[in-house]
Amino acid sequence: MYPVNDAHCHFFSPRFFETLARDAGGRFGADAATSIPAVLGFDPPVSPEALADRWVAELDRHAVGRAAAIASVPGDEESVVTAVGRHPARFVGYFMVNPLAADAETRVTRALAAGLRVVCLFPAMHRYSLHDERVSRVVEAASQSAGAAVFVHCGVLSVGIRRKLGLPSRFEGRFGQPLDVQALASTWPSLPFIIPHFGAGFFREALMAADMSRNIMLDTSSSNDWIKYAPGLELRDVFRHALRVCGADRLLFGTDSSFFPRGWQRPVFEAQQSALDALGLNAADRELIFGGTFDRLFPQTS
């Protein structure tokens, strides 16, 4: 069996839930890290340390070697720094930044210096164009750190937690265009760019962008429910086309796992395995997709 690494796992820390509580105007009480998980049916994270330990036990249970730990709200870098510092051989730290914030560049520089590796941009969520000069300044800051990468969420964006809590999601999908990522990738050709969920509905455009810029990679994460927008397309077809354009060395396996008690989403892993079984993909390419590409992009430093 090839080694498995997961390039897309969210780290729902206490601060993540506290941020949701602020968006809700405080209606979930003072202890949001307990009250909001209770409403959602999640286990509370307790602390960044406890959550990191629980994730490592979960990865061990599923024989997953390493995983992304994504700080899923701007300003939560510290929680993932704690997780990475506690388990440096198991986590690669990702963090969300809003380039429109006055301190965005400073946050990027500080977080990367603290050991995080991937700057996450959500243009539809924060409602900005990737052509905005402030985005360029954030990407430039990332380019100054050896081993950094930039993750850009494109296509359809839906945050189920916000919907369940009755919080508005004023996202603007027009900003999630993979061809705009290509413009950035061509300006910084030595900086890896990751587009998750195969472009989340902009599959053709994600393939076009990756074909034009070799430093663009696609992650395979989540249920890939966006396939419903492409009649006749199935997951095996998505992999077939992505392999033809990108090759296995630019595909990063991911699940989009996020909360407990659900934990690591083995059904996503099994669905992707089945799709590659249907294609008859060779062992070497499977190893790249499920772990090797991740290890090449984020080599162990300790």
pLDDT tens, residue by residue, 239-289: 999 999 999 999 999 999 999 999 999 999 999 999 999 999 999 999 999
* 145: exposed, middle or buried (Cβ count in 10 Å: 0-12, 13-18, 19+): middle
Q: How far apart are CA 120 and CA 270, in angstroms?
A: 26
| 249 assigned to some structural domain | yes
| 181 assigned to some structural domain | yes
| 34 assigned to some structural domain | no
Tokens of 58: 């979960």
Q: How far apart are CA 250 and CA 220, in angstroms?
A: 11
Q: What is the pLDDT of residues 218-252, one digit of tens each?
A: 999 999 999 999 999 999 999 999 999 999 999 99
Contact 250, 1 (CB under 8 A): no
Number of domains the chain is built from = 1
| 91 assigned to some structural domain | yes
Q: What is the pLDDT of residues 213-226, one digit of tens each?
A: 999 999 999 999 99
pLDDT of residue 169: 86
| 200 assigned to some structural domain | yes
| 25 assigned to some structural domain | no
Cβ-proximal residues to 102 (8 Å cutoff; 6+ apart), any chain? none
Inform me whether the pLDDT recorded for 302 exceeds 60. no
CATH of the domain at 215: 3.20.20.140
| 277 assigned to some structural domain | yes
What type of residue sits at position 8?
Answer: H
Beta bridge partners of 64: 4
Domain that holds residue 93: 4-11+44-297
pLDDT of residue 151: 98
Bond preceding residue 37 cis, omega within 30 of 0: no
Inform me whether the pLDDT recorded for 78 exceeds 70. yes
Contact 246, 219 (CB under 8 A): no
| 35 assigned to some structural domain | no
Contact 153, 176 (CB under 8 A): yes
